[in-house]
Amino acid sequence: QSALTQPPSVSGAPGQRVTISCTGSSSNIGAGYDIHWYQQLPGTTPKLLIYANSNRPSGVPDRFSGSKSGASGSLAISGLQGEDEAEYHCQSFDGSLRAWVFGGGTKLTVL
């Protein structure tokens, strides 16, 4: 199993707000390492969505936001659109494993 835990799936109607959680441990997120989020549209390469917990790269809409608290973090998507239907992955560093670690991915369905 993955070092970071994400729900396998979430869903929401257009216009709604959804959140995706990413739970780690005292050796990764809880140790102070940043969380990064990636969006992977069907059949495509992961794309950086949020970096260092809450920062958006240029070109990412402000509908996407991230936060971190303790050993977990979350990605929020407001004003849900059909084009947001994708898989979302969180990533951090694990000091015990000395490795970059990912969550198992969350599939977002727009109803």
Do β-strands 86-94 and 36-40 pair in parallel, antiparallel, or remain unpaired? antiparallel
DSSP character for 3? S
* C-alpha span between 50 and 57 (Å, rounded): 7
Q: Does 100 sit near another protein (CB under 8 A)?
A: yes
What tokens appear for 14 in the block?
A: 């257009």
Taking CA atoms, 23 is separated from 44, 58, 86, 93, 109, in Å, by: 25, 26, 20, 13, 21
The neighbour count for residue 50, using CB atoms within 10 Å, is 25
Instruction: Please state the closest distance from residue 40 (CB atom) to another protein, in A.
Output: 9
Nearer to another protein, 7 or 104 (CB): 104
Q: Does 97 sit near another protein (CB under 8 A)?
A: yes
Candidate residues 23, 27, 51, 95; the one interacting with another protein per rule CB under 8 A: 51
SS3 category, 83: helix
Q: Does 47 sit near another protein (CB under 8 A)?
A: yes
Nearer to another protein, 1 or 82 (CB): 1
Stretch touching another protein by CB under 8 A, among 9-17, 21-29, 71-79, 86-94: 86-94
Stretch touching another protein by CB under 8 A, among 16-24, 32-40, 65-73, 77-85: 32-40
